[in-house]
């Protein structure tokens, strides 16, 4: 009987956590699955035979020893990385750059891996102009360099594209467990870890080279370093905190502020009890540790915009998305991007103009409501869990809990100044929202008692939360697949077939029509830091101006073969269609033959 007990216990837990979600998903419309799972698991969890057996097991997780905490943190991290890799391959996700931002971050990673932050302006700047890239006065991505700095070693080692984000995401889950365990208890930590790993946002960005997973990681590292400094007041923890703050500031500065400001306020309050000398040393060490990262940003700014105080991100918005700069601005009718690239013009008109026009102080309350709802959808596995958040504020009885929780309202307040609030922006808040749900379970389990959580109530609520987490996973949900919004069929087709259909070295000119989708842009040469170094250059088809690119490569790299790729012609196809144009000299001769002396194409 004793040997059979572990199997029986596994079945007792498996029925509500796996069996119920599987049954609900196969019988019901996906919209009703969370409610059905919550009700069914809630009824099962009230059965004394189940509750009484599971409760002691869950209670044994509450107070891990320091050694157990350390090893459990490592195990949670390793299992999370393994799951993110497994689910990506199981879903047949596109494990290559798809979004505008991904291409930009990858190019920036290659530049940093080569020891540079920007390249000189390319002689063919207009052919390599693109979304979230500067073509003039230098060739450079516009994003803050913290994400690329983290990714550069992986690029240098030639590791798969998704290695950095998947490791960062695994660490986010591990640190979520550790921090919530320190702030509440081990059962809350495990609940938070389950919430984090099953949240759409982190799973979606666990294989995408963008700033969301690194920002979540450094936000948690900031909190971990602060908790260690708070415990010991040692200079090394002040240095760690400063470095994490500095690095976070050059990943996503607004997000970094949302986490750093509450920590800084708490330090200011608590440091009053320290001798003046120790306060000065701690402040100096923190600032010195942050300084190299801020200096890197200043160098990047000056090299790309001419001013250490103007970021390339701000310069790009001013030029190519006017009116979307941070803050509240009077709407200017008729504003258009300065760049002549038709993709940028069309993207601005279709996807940005209405948001810019609607962003005003008068819409503040409506915007805040919408952004709060979007935050819940992006950070919780199931919207039904938001009901529990109402109890979370009653558990903010300690300063660490207050500081961690404060990131959410501060994040929303700071982003009120941004005209845009896209669905992936709140991803760094996932650990905080998971903490809030775990805290709510802890509060409701106490039911006003000072003796600690009631094991039976805690088991009841915890099983419901864990079952909702399971029911949101793509392995259980036929209606869930990550990495498909927005759809990028042409990008996938180009990734799979382009290299095999060209004779390298090559230049592929991508032709864009007004009816094409500007969200999908495959014309990035992102395998190198400088376009001319790539065996397969991707550039824009600029019509009559193609004679410029033909002349340039005929002079410098005459063995390059030119091809034309028409996006519309390849829409919906399974096999890529390319039009060979000859090598650089042959293509130049054709263009010159069809171009009269006045420079106009006949």
Q: What is the pLDDT of residue 315?
A: 95
pLDDT in tens, 36-56: 888 888 888 888 878 888 888
CB neighbours (10 Å) of residue 92? 9
Residues 488 and 510: their CA atoms lie apart, in Å, by 15
Q: Which of 94-98, 329-333, 423-427, 536-540 has the lowest mean pLDDT?
A: 329-333
Q: What is the pLDDT of residue 558?
A: 96
Residues 480 and 467: their CA atoms lie apart, in Å, by 17
pLDDT in tens, 117-163: 999 999 999 999 999 999 999 999 999 999 999 999 999 999 999 99
| Interhelix angle 20-27/33-45, nearest 10 degrees | 150
Say which residues have a Cβ less than 8 Å from residue 595's Cβ, sequence separation at least 6. 544, 547, 601, 602
Q: For residue 563, name the pLDDT band (cuts at 50, 70, 90).
A: very high
Query: What mean pLDDT is predicted for residues 457-466?
Result: 91
Closest by CA to 464, choosing from 385, 380, 379, is 385
Residue 5 above 50 pLDDT? no
Strand pairing category for 138-141 and 119-120: antiparallel
Residue 12 above 90 pLDDT? no
Query: What mean pLDDT is predicted for residues 452-458?
Result: 86
Q: Which of 24-28, 34-38, 342-346 has the lowest mean pLDDT?
A: 24-28
pLDDT in tens, 359-389: 888 899 999 999 999 999 999 999 899 999 9
Q: What does pLDDT average to over the chain?
A: 91
Q: What is the pLDDT of residue 43?
A: 84
Closest by CA to 154, choosing from 209, 191, 204, is 209
Residues 135 and 304: their CA atoms lie apart, in Å, by 10
Query: What mean pLDDT is predicted for residues 59-73?
Result: 92
Model pTM greater than 0.85?
Answer: yes
pLDDT in tens, 228-247: 999 988 999 999 999 999 99
pLDDT in tens, 383-428: 899 999 999 999 999 999 999 999 999 999 999 999 999 999 999 9
Residue 449 above 80 pLDDT? no
Question: In which region does residue 323 sit, left (phi positive, over 0), alpha (psi from -120 to 50) or beta (all else)?
Answer: left
Q: What is the pLDDT of residue 312?
A: 97
Residue 203 above 80 pLDDT? yes
Query: Is 525 buried (19+), middle (13-18) or exposed (0-12) by CB count in 10 A?
Result: buried
Q: What is the pLDDT of residue 448?
A: 61
Closest by CA to 497, choosing from 563, 558, 584, is 563
CA neighbours closer than 13 Å in the CB half-sphere of residue 250: 24
Say which residues have a Cβ less than 8 Å from residue 585's Cβ, sequence separation at least 6. 554, 558
Query: What mean pLDDT is predicted for residues 57-74?
Result: 92
Query: What mean pLDDT is predicted for residues 197-219?
Result: 96
Residue 1 above 80 pLDDT? no
């Amino acid at each position: 009987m004793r040997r059979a007990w572990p199997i029986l216990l596994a079945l007792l837990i498996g029925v509500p956590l796996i069996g119920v979600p599987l049954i609900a998903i196969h019988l019901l419309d996906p919209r009703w699955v969370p409610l059905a799972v919550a009700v069914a698991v809630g009824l099962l969890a009230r059965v004394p035979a189940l509750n009484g057996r599971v409760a002691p097991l869950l209670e044994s997780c509450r107070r891990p020893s320091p050694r157990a905490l350390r090893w459990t943190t490592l195990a949670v991290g390793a299992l999370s990385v393994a799951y993110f890799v497994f689910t990506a391959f199981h879903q047949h996700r596109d494990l290559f750059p798809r979004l505008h931002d991904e291409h930009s971050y990858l190019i920036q990673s290659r530049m940093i891996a080569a020891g540079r932050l920007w390249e000189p302006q390319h002689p063919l700047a207009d052919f390599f102009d693109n979304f979230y890239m500067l073509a003039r006065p230098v060739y450079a991505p516009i994003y803050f360099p913290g994400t690329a700095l983290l990714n550069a070693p992986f690029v240098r080692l030639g590791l798969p594209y998704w290695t950095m984000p998947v490791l960062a995401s695994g660490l986010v889950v591990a640190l979520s467990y550790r921090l919530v365990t320190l702030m509440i208890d081990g059962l809350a930590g495990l609940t938070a870890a389950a919430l984090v790993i099953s949240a759409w946002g982190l799973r979606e960005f666990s294989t995408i080279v963008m700033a969301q997973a690194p920002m979540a990681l450094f936000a948690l590292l900031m909190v971990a370093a602060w908790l260690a400094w708070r415990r010991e007041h040692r200079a090394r923890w002040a240095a760690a905190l400063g470095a994490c703050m500095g690095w976070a500031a050059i990943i996503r500065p607004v997000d970094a502020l949302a986490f750093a400001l509450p920590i800084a306020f708490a330090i200011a309050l608590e440091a009053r009890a320290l001798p003046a000398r120790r306060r000065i040393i701690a402040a100096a060490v923190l600032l010195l540790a942050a300084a190299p990262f801020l200096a890197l940003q200043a160098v990047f700014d000056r090299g790309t915009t001419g001013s250490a105080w103007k970021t390339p991100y701000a310069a790009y918005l001013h030029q190519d998305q006017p009116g979307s700069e941070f803050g509240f601005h009077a709407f200017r009718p008729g504003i258009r991007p300065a760049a002549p690239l038709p993709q940028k013009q069309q993207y601005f008109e279709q996807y940005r103009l209405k948001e810019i026009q609607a962003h005003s102080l008068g819409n503040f309350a409506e915007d805040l409501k919408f952004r709060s709802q979007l935050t819940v959808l992006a950070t919780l596995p199931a919207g039904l869990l938001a009901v529990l958040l109402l109890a979370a504020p009653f558990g903010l009885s300690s300063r660490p809990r207050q500081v961690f929780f404060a990131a959410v309202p501060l994040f929303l307040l700071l982003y009120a100044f941004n005209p845009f609030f896209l669905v992936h922006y709140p991803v760094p808040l996932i650990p905080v929202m998971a903490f809030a749900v775990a805290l709510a379970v802890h509060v409701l389990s106490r039911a006003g008692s000072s003796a600690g959580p009631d094991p039976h109530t805690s088991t009841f609520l915890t099983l419901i939360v864990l079952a909702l987490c399971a029911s949101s996973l793509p392995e259980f949900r036929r209606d869930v697949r990550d990495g498909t919004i927005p759809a990028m069929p042409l990008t996938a087709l180009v990734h799979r077939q382009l290299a095999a259909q060209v004779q390298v070295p090559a230049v592929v000119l991508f032709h864009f029509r007004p009816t094409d989708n500007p969200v999908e842009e495959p014309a990035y040469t992102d395998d190198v830091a400088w376009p001319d170094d790539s065996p397969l250059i991707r550039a824009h088809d600029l019509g009559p101006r193609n004679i410029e690119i033909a002349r340039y490569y005929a002079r410098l790299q005459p063995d390059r073969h030119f091809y034309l790729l028409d996006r519309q012609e390849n829409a919906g196809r399974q096999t890529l269609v390319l039009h060979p144009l000859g090598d650089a000299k042959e293509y130049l001769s054709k263009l010159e033959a069809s171009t009269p002396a006045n420079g106009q194409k006949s």
